Structure 1
Amino acid sequence: MTAVVRYARTGPDARPYAVLTLDSDRNRNALSAQLLEELRAALHRAAEDDVLAVVLRAEGRAFCAGADLGEAHREGMEVSAHRLAGLLRAILAHPLPVVARIHGPVRAGGLGIVAACDLAVAGDDVTYAFTEARLGLTPAVISLSVLPRMSARVAGTAFLTAGTFDARTALESGLITHAVRPELLDEAVDELVAGLTACERQGLEATKRLLNADALMYLDDRMDDMVALSAELFASDVARRHLSGYVR
């Protein structure tokens, strides 16, 4: 089986960082079981490595297209939803700061990953959408990381209309932390990473725990309910009608 997440250690020997690359362009980096499991393993590897930060990036047409709906249908949404919730928690609880480098469209479940990251740098041409409501679903599991980050009014509009929104809205709402011209994306990420790797690991770990304590409590308090809600809606006749094209 070809790997869909690549791990690389880079940077100066004294101040290294890890780069995790989603590499499944055939399905626009959808959140398949393989991708989620490999990403969790890569995050664990980075935690055990003597690096100072983690960059999460992607190859291909999109940063992440959301859930692998066909796979979720075959194995059951409860399994898929629980797996995604576990990944969101792994990012929030990771000892090191995780920086998302967002080069292309982000949809549905991918937004949960972006929100879980500590810093999120995107090209200002990137678009975003919580598409769930149009399928008879709701952003249940991804709300666990999204709602502590986004302003309530913007999140409400995005969730309820399921419409596409731009980088300016994503930035002003708190979903991402930086928006730059696409040609400056790598430069912006490098600048942030340089700031992070100038710090001591002990300080980074303690500061991340401080910053994410409330977000982790929010996730832990609601995770089981959101997994159950996701599974319930996915199994409904309304959702099955919309998803019929994905689950052949």
Structure 2
Amino acid sequence: MTELVRTARERGITTLTLDAPARRNALSAALADALAEALARCGGDRGTRAVVLTHAGNTFCAGADLRDPPRPEALVELMRGIVELPVPVVARVDGHVRAGGLGLLGACDIAVASTAATFAFTEVRIGLAPAVISLPLLPRADPRALARHCLTGERLDAAEAVRAGLLTAAGADVDEVLAPVLDGLRRASPQGLAETKRLLTATVLQTFDRDADALTALSARLFASPQAREGATAFLERRDPTWVV
């Protein structure tokens, strides 16, 4: 069976690569579980100074796998696991990000991308809402930008994603953008990183504590709704859903 998340280590940096490119790294139940397990191993590894989360293929993550989505609770646990990991997590994006993939970006401490990357909150177009993924995003992203992009489902480029607070930085070569970040993390003390991350994520974790149960219930209700079934069917059949006017 193909490994869904590949692990590599170099000079204190553990790289986790989402490796389901045929499915555009969509978050199936199996992929979400594999990523959660890999992150947990990183958290217990004293040799890991930071984690880089990246991808195989031209898509970082296409959101939930509509054929086999993870439970909303599992997605909440996955994102919270990134936020609570005692080492920084850096997203390296050299492709496209949609829907639930933006929740992974929001959970990461730093997110860098190539200027070829594109982003979109597509939930509204298939009868859903960015419910659980809003947990890490609302405390970190620009409210006006989120309103526009979550309500319209428009595609945005890397420069707009930086302005909106979805990305930290972007450039023509993502690895050139990433290099000084990793150099800085390697020069930082493990204690300094852990305690600084704790300070920076406190508000995000308060949002999880306050809203996770309600948003999990909302996500489950929407996924089971007639409009979501029509939206998913239309997406898989590559047609407009019936509500398009």
TM-score, normalization by structure 2? 0.93
One-letter amino acid of the counterpart of residue 20, structure 1: L
Deviation beyond 2 Å, 4+ runs, structure 1: 244-248
Question: 3-state DSSP class of the match of 1:70?
Answer: coil
Instruction: Give the superposition deviation at 1:34.
Output: 1.3
Confirm or deny: 8 A CA contact 1:70 1:247 kept in the other structure. Answer: no
The alignment status of 1:118 with 2:109, answered yes or no, reads yes
Confirm or deny: 8 A CA contact 1:122 1:176 kept in the other structure. Answer: yes
Work out which of the residue numbers 131, 137, 142 in structure 2 matches 1:146. Answer: 137
Confirm or deny: 8 A CA contact 2:39 2:82 kept in the other structure. Answer: yes
- In the other structure, the counterpart of 1:76 is none
Confirm or deny: 8 A CA contact 2:59 2:96 kept in the other structure. Answer: yes
Unpaired stretches in structure 2, ≥5 consecutive residues: 238-245
Confirm or deny: 8 A CA contact 2:170 2:177 kept in the other structure. Answer: no
Confirm or deny: 8 A CA contact 1:120 1:178 kept in the other structure. Answer: yes
**Aligned-pair Cα RMSD in Å:** 1.4
- In the other structure, the counterpart of 1:217 is 206
One-letter amino acid of the counterpart of residue 199, structure 1: A
CA distance in 1, matches of 2:40, 2:104: 16
- In the other structure, the counterpart of 2:55 is 58
- After superposition, give the CA deviation of every residue in 1:5-40 in whole Å (9 maximum; x if it has no partner): 0111112xxxx1111001100100000111111111
Instruction: Give the superposition deviation at 1:245.
Output: 5.2
Confirm or deny: 8 A CA contact 1:70 1:246 kept in the other structure. Answer: no
CA distance in 2, matches of 1:39, 1:18: 13
- In the other structure, the counterpart of 1:91 is 82
The share of aligned pairs that are identical, in percent, is 47
CA distance in 2, matches of 1:44, 1:233: 30
- After superposition, give the CA deviation of every residue in 1:44-81 in whole Å (9 maximum; x if it has no partner): 11111121111111010201100011113xxxxxx621
TM-score, normalization by structure 1? 0.92
Larger RCO (CA under 8 A, 6+ residues apart): 1
